[in-house]
Amino acid sequence: MKRFEGRRALVTGASRGIGAAVAERLAAEGADVAITARTLEKHKTLAGSLQETAARLEEYGGAVAIVVANLADEDDRRRIVPEAVEKLGGPIEILVNNAAGAMYQPLADFPLRRRRLIFDLNVHAPIDLAQAVIPAMRDAGEGWILNLSSATARLAQGSSTMAVYGASKAALNRLTDGLAAELRGSGIRVNSIEPRAAVKTEGAEEVVGELLRRQPDLLESMEEMVEAVVALSACPEDVTGRITVSLDLIAEWGLVVHNLDGTE
């Protein structure tokens, strides 16, 4: 299955976790992929790096571009798409806004600096990157923008410590809806997807690993999450403005879950 052959994709937060897995699956299905994150070689505490992800992607034979950048930095955000376009040799057709920042603590003393950082990473960066790829997508008459959200965006979560993170993801969902409405008819699909509960990644293990070990039923497989992401990265034009859940989409569309290398 090579449904992305000849396509160029940009995946953020691709040094590890969902971003690295999505980038691999896109490459396995023929895409040329640009990956961006802060960690080029080695993180202080977490496994994974852009170099490691790139090495896996290169095995599939397509072009791979590394763009080292900090999405919290406005100047860095401005150069990501131009660098990706230059290194891949053409405009980005698929944008997967996966990178996110999460800090959990009570609202009563949540510092402004941290609140701004979360919204920079989770709201402003995805919109800035979307704005950067939209002109070429308009010219081509097609494009796919996919934002990764979270169940914490919904009300009645019962935890004040996740409120800022959840608020940022709720804002991202609202902006997804608005951008999809604005671009309807242009051929550009804009959607949002979230795991039903949690995907066991390096970051999740670091933040809520103990909870996941106590309640393994909260987990879904990386392959399930990726299957839903890549399905929306190739969806028809009328599928836009959706705020959906990975396992629900798999059930609704009858998707077969594949390995990251594209095999069943």
CATH superfamily of 8-253: NAD(P)-binding Rossmann-like Domain (3.40.50.720)
Phi, psi of 157 (to 5 degrees): -80, -20
**How high is the pLDDT of residue 197?**
76
At a CB cut-off of 8 Å and minimum separation 6, what does 38 contact?
A: 15, 68, 69, 70
CA–CA distance, 104 with 237 (Å, rounded to integer)? 37
Question: Residue 204 pLDDT > 60, yes or no?
Answer: no
Tracing tokens 């997508």 back to the chain, one arrives at: 137
Q: CB–CB of 1/262 below 8 Å?
A: yes
Tokens of 253: 């569309």
CA–CA distance, 123 with 115 (Å, rounded to integer)? 11
Tokens of 125: 């960066």
User: What is the mean pLDDT of the segment spanning 179-203?
Assistant: 88
CA–CA distance, 243 with 149 (Å, rounded to integer)? 9
Question: Residue 157 pLDDT > 80, yes or no?
Answer: no
Residue 117: other Cβ atoms inside 10 A = 15
Give the residue with greater pLDDT, 40 vs 175: 175
Beta pairing partners, 95: 10, 145
Mean pLDDT rounded to a whole number for the chain: 91
| CA 89 to chain CA centroid, nearest Å | 22
Q: What is the pLDDT of residues 213-255, one digit of tens each?
A: 665 566 799 999 999 999 999 999 999 999 999 999 999 999 9
104 is catalytic: no
Model confidence, pTM? 0.92
Catalytic residue among 165, 173, 191, 232: 165
Q: Give 124-127's long-range contacts (Cβ < 8 A, gap of 24+).
A: 124/74, 124/77, 125/12, 125/71, 125/72, 125/77, 125/97, 125/99, 126/12, 126/97, 126/172, 126/175, 127/175, 127/179
User: What is the mean pLDDT of the segment spanning 90-107?
Assistant: 94
Q: CB–CB of 81/37 below 8 Å?
A: no
Tracing tokens 């992607």 back to the chain, one arrives at: 57
CA–CA distance, 21 with 27 (Å, rounded to integer)? 10
CA–CA distance, 234 with 143 (Å, rounded to integer)? 9
Question: Residue 153 pLDDT > 70, yes or no?
Answer: yes
**How high is the pLDDT of residue 10?**
98
